[in-house]
Chain A
């Protein structure tokens, strides 16, 4: 009996501690990211910051996107492509245009999406900054996670462990064979 109590008490303490930790629902379900301050390949002078909510199937995710440019004037043109597995809940225009002024260089795009299938999907933006001389483009992608730990799908290749132990991604070559002699 004494031994049983000695075992049970620590287990009880651990269990109580685990349950007493407050779980912040926002931390669990909100995903955010930004390109601000990160290295950019040459392209349009524009950054993107986003916030989305992680959802289960048939739930609705809030997607908040902010585009910020360092251009002093001109236009930002945005063309959005919503993944086939996502459904736009609101009726928003997927092609938008914003005028850049010295006082207005940040632009918000908000939407809601849902999905019937688990997976990692993206809302893709192709932005063009027109400042008069040489318009440039930059692409962004906003992830929407549906379900638990969704992963991207790799199609058409065969992942193997070679005999040497290395991981290889094998595809079939287009091969022609000829007997020479």
Chain B
């Protein structure tokens, strides 16, 4: 009877012990050793006989997945060991002996305290992309398990899952991060989430459906990358990845006042847009040491376009041109002396200028603030820097406001770049849409404002000859982070004013015609509240739609 009782209690205990029993991890150096290399397929680009660029699936390269998270799991999906690959894609893990183990690799680069970035599927609940090997016995010695993320290309199309894409994106970002680390080994990159999916299309709408408009940085620590096969994929277009990452860099380490909007190499742009976009393009060439920026698209990714960051024929050179900015930055960086470029600064001086004086400039970020910063930190190179910018039809830059411009882009009201608005006085400003609307040269006027005493102030804008317009006034505190403090409230009126409490300091006013007509305004700054009355037909305008503000973090 006693024996039966023992069995009665023993049997369930044994059942509990052996069923759902978790494998215990082992310490490093104990158990069985698993080593391996993680690789991915990288599809390179190629320029064809017609000058078009395409993805070259005939020459897929095997590349290592660097600094990615690797885990060993048992058959119950319990993590037994975890590590990251090194700079050669290699990993080492220690697991219990004679245990069924699988290796899982995450599309996540992690180095604690230095970087943490993941590629997730924004159309599938932000699921983290991983690749997995099979369950195999760990034995009692050392085994080598190499894992590869395949491209999914079968020779004719993408028939399989595009596992390599997330790792290709990470590798492009790693390239630029290593460049930045060389300039500052102590830098710590904030967390970054990269959203990529084969469903990511060039449509506006719901990002959870993949409707992301275009590859972009959203100003909130997210990159969004197109993945629409046979239309527009960007996972292998490394210059695009790095360009977008550069906006993340500006956000977190420097400052960009760009207002976004459409832009192209030959455009006469708002100076903030010209610099922001030119900087991104230049960074892509600097990071890869390859001045050919390319974007593949179309059926089988067999078409596309490219531009030579270094030597493209200037279309409309000047301080308002993103193409001029990118050529200048690349010339400052590279060792190739060409034209008026006899300078080889490397990346570090550019980096140092961006994270300090550019970030803290008291004017809008532009080629003026950058070159002023660069010259200030490299005084022995001032003449050589002036020679480089002269090659882009830009006269010597002496200050952050771009005074003494000789190139007006053949526009009527493009000089001076900044006007001075003093208390108790007025200035006239004119807006032109010759070069386009919203973010083009001549659309907006910048005015420096100095306040000596705390008080209520009103900036007003009234019509001045010519076409009627709808003035908008935005006021910024002219110091990092260069925040917008207020905006004039009326919409659809020919006059407007902004009344605001101000303390002593420097400010910047931006005045423009919200309807982007060719119009002029008298702009005045006075102490006290304004006198403009709202009428029944007027309404408060919503916050101006701007490119999402990228607020840098400390």
Q: Tell me if B313 is interfacial: C-beta within 8 Å of chain A.
A: yes
Interface of chain A residues 54 through 109 with chain B (CB within 8 A): 70-71, 79, 81
Query: Do A152 and B199 contact each other (CB < 8 Å), given the known contacts A33-B204, A159-B127?
Result: yes
Number of A-B contacts (CB under 8 A): 231
- In the assembled complex, the Cα of A139 lies from the Cα of B263 at a distance in Å of 15
B15 within 8 A of A: no
Q: In chain B between 125 and 168, which residues have their CB closer than 8 angstroms to a CB of chain A?
A: 125-134, 136, 139, 141-150, 152, 160-161, 163
Inter-chain contacts of B150 with A (CB < 8 A): 174
Whether a CB of chain A sits under 8 angstroms from the CB of B264 is yes
Looking at A9-17, A22-30, A164-172, the stretch in contact with chain B turns out to be A164-172
Contact indicator B131/A171 (Cβ below 8 Å) = yes
Q: Which residues of A contact B244 (CB under 8 A)?
A: 41
A112-171, CB < 8 A from B: 120, 122, 124, 126, 129, 131, 133-143, 151-157, 159, 162-164, 166-171
Q: Are A35 and B213 in contact (CB under 8 A)?
A: yes
Residues of A within 8 A of B123 (CB): 152, 154
Q: Report whether A124 and B143 are in contact in the complex, using a CB–CB cutoff of 8 Å.
A: no
User: Which residues of A have CB within 8 Å of B213?
Assistant: 35, 38-39
Q: Decide: A177 and B214 in contact? CB cutoff 8 A.
A: no
B287 CB to nearest chain A CB (Å): 15
Complex partner residue of A41 from B240, B298, B307, B313, CB under 8 angstroms: B240
Residues of chain B lying within 8 A (CB to CB) of residue A181: 141-142
Interface contact B124-A177, CB-CB below 8 Å: no
Given contacts A35-B214, A126-B231, contact A173 B438 (CB under 8 A): no
Please state if B130 and A40 are interface contacts (CB–CB under 8 Å). Answer: no
Nearest residue (CB) in B for A38 is B213
Verify if B498 is at the interface (C-beta below 8 Å from A).
Answer: no
Cβ-defined contact, B125 with A167, below 8 A: yes
Q: Is the CB of B130 within 8 A of A171?
A: yes
Which residues of B (205-234) have their CB < 8 Å from a CB of A? 205, 209-211, 213-216, 226, 228, 230-232, 234
Judging by beta carbons under 8 Å apart, are B199 and A154 in contact?
Answer: yes
Q: Let me know if B490 is at the binding interface, CB within 8 A.
A: no
Binds A, one of B72-80, B187-195, B525-533: B72-80
Nearest chain B CB to A158 CB, angstrom units: 9
Q: How far is the CB of A74 from chain B (nearest CB, A)?
A: 11
B385 within 8 A of A: no
Q: How large is the interface on B (under 10, 10 to 19, 20 to 34, 35 or more residues)?
A: 35 or more
Inter-chain contact B261/A37, CB cutoff 8 Å: yes
Q: Of the candidates B201, B277, B440, which one forms a contact with A42 in the assembled complex, judged by CB atoms under 8 Å apart?
A: B277
Cβ-defined contact, B141 with A43, below 8 A: no
Q: CB < 8 Å: which of A42, A151, A162, A177 contacts B144?
A: A177
Q: Is B466 part of the binding interface, using a Cβ–Cβ cutoff of 8 Å?
A: no
In contact, A70 and B436 (Cβ under 8 angstroms):
yes
The answer to whether A35 touches B204 (Cβ under 8 A) is: yes
With a cutoff of 8 Å between Cβ atoms, the chain A residues found around residue B145 in the complex are: 175-177
User: Across the interface, do B230 and A70 meet the contact criterion of CB distance under 8 Å?
Assistant: no
A126-B298 in contact (CB<8A): yes
B440 closest partner in A (C-beta): A70
- Report yes or no: A47 in contact with B143, Cβ–Cβ below 8 A: no
Partner of B263, one of A42, A155, A156, A175: A42
In-complex Cβ contact of A152 among B132, B209, B281 (8 A): B209
Chain A residues with CB below 8 A from B148, complex form: 173-175
Given the interface contacts A38-B204, A133-B315, A152-B123, does A126 sit within 8 Å of B297 by beta carbon? yes
* Residues on B with beta carbons closer than 8 Å to the beta carbon of A175: 103, 133-134, 145-148
Contact B228 A124 (CB under 8 A): yes
Taken together as a complex, chains A and B put the C-alpha atoms of A42 and B244 apart, in Å, by 10
Please measure, in the bound complex, the distance between the C-alpha atom of A176 and the C-alpha atom of B281, giving whole angstroms. Answer: 39
Residue of B nearest to A126 (CB): B298
Asked if B303 is at the interface (CB within 8 A of a chain A CB), the reply is: yes
Cβ-defined contact, B214 with A41, below 8 A: yes
Given contacts A81-B230, A134-B307, contact A45 B262 (CB under 8 A): yes
- B297–A137 CB distance below 8 A: yes
Whether A154 contacts B243 by the Cβ 8 Å rule is no
Which residue of chain A has its CB nearest to the CB of B210? A152
Closest partner residue, chain B, to A180 (CB atom) = B142
Q: Which of B129, B143, B202, B240 is within 8 Å of A141, CB to CB?
A: B202
With contact pairs A34-B204, A81-B231, A167-B126 given, residues A44 and B303 touching in the complex (Cβ less than 8 Å)? no
Q: Are A40 and B214 in contact (CB under 8 A)?
A: yes
Chain A residues with CB under 8 Å of B262's CB are: 35-36, 40, 45-47, 70
A122→B203 contact, CB < 8 A: yes
Contacts of B202 in A (CB 8 A): 124, 138-141
For the complex, what is the distance from the CA of A153 to the CA of B201, rounded to whole Å? 13
Structural contact, B163 and A133, CB atoms closer than 8 A: no
Q: Does B547 contact A (CB under 8 A)?
A: yes
Residues of the A chain whose Cβ atoms lie less than 8 Å from the Cβ of B125: 159, 167
A138 → B minimal CB distance (Å): 8
Report the nearest A residue to B159, measured CB to CB. Answer: A156
- Please judge, given known A-B contacts A156-B152, A169-B127, A181-B141, whether A143 and B264 are in contact too, CB under 8 Å: no
Cβ of B121 within 8 Å of any chain A Cβ, yes or no, is: yes
B105 on the A face (CB < 8 A): yes
Name B262's closest neighbour in chain A (CB-CB): A40
Cα A72 to Cα B194 in complex, Å, equals 36
Q: List residues of chain B with CB within 8 A of the CB of A171.
A: 129-132, 149, 161, 163
Across the interface, which residues of B come within 8 angstroms of A157, CB to CB?
Answer: 121, 124, 161
CB pair B77 A38 closer than 8 Å: no
20 A-B residue pairs with Cβ-Cβ distance under 8 Å, sorted by A, are: A34-B204, A37-B545, A39-B547, A40-B262, A42-B263, A70-B262, A126-B231, A133-B266, A134-B305, A139-B202, A141-B203, A143-B203, A152-B199, A170-B130, A171-B131, A174-B148, A175-B133, A176-B146, A180-B143, A181-B142
Residues on B facing A (Cβ under 8 Å): 35, 76-79, 103-105, 120-121, 123-134, 136, 139, 141-150, 152, 160-161, 163, 197-199, 201-205, 209-211, 213-216, 226, 228, 230-232, 234, 240, 243-244, 260-267, 277, 280-281, 293, 295, 297-299, 303-305, 307, 312-313, 315, 322, 435-436, 438, 440, 545, 547-548
Sample of 9 further A-B pairs with CB below 8 A, known A35-B213, A134-B315, A152-B123: A31-B205, A41-B244, A126-B231, A134-B265, A137-B295, A156-B161, A171-B161, A176-B145, A180-B35
List of 8 A-B pairs having minimum Cβ-Cβ separation, nearest first: A156-B161, A33-B204, A139-B232, A45-B264, A173-B131, A175-B133, A169-B127, A141-B203
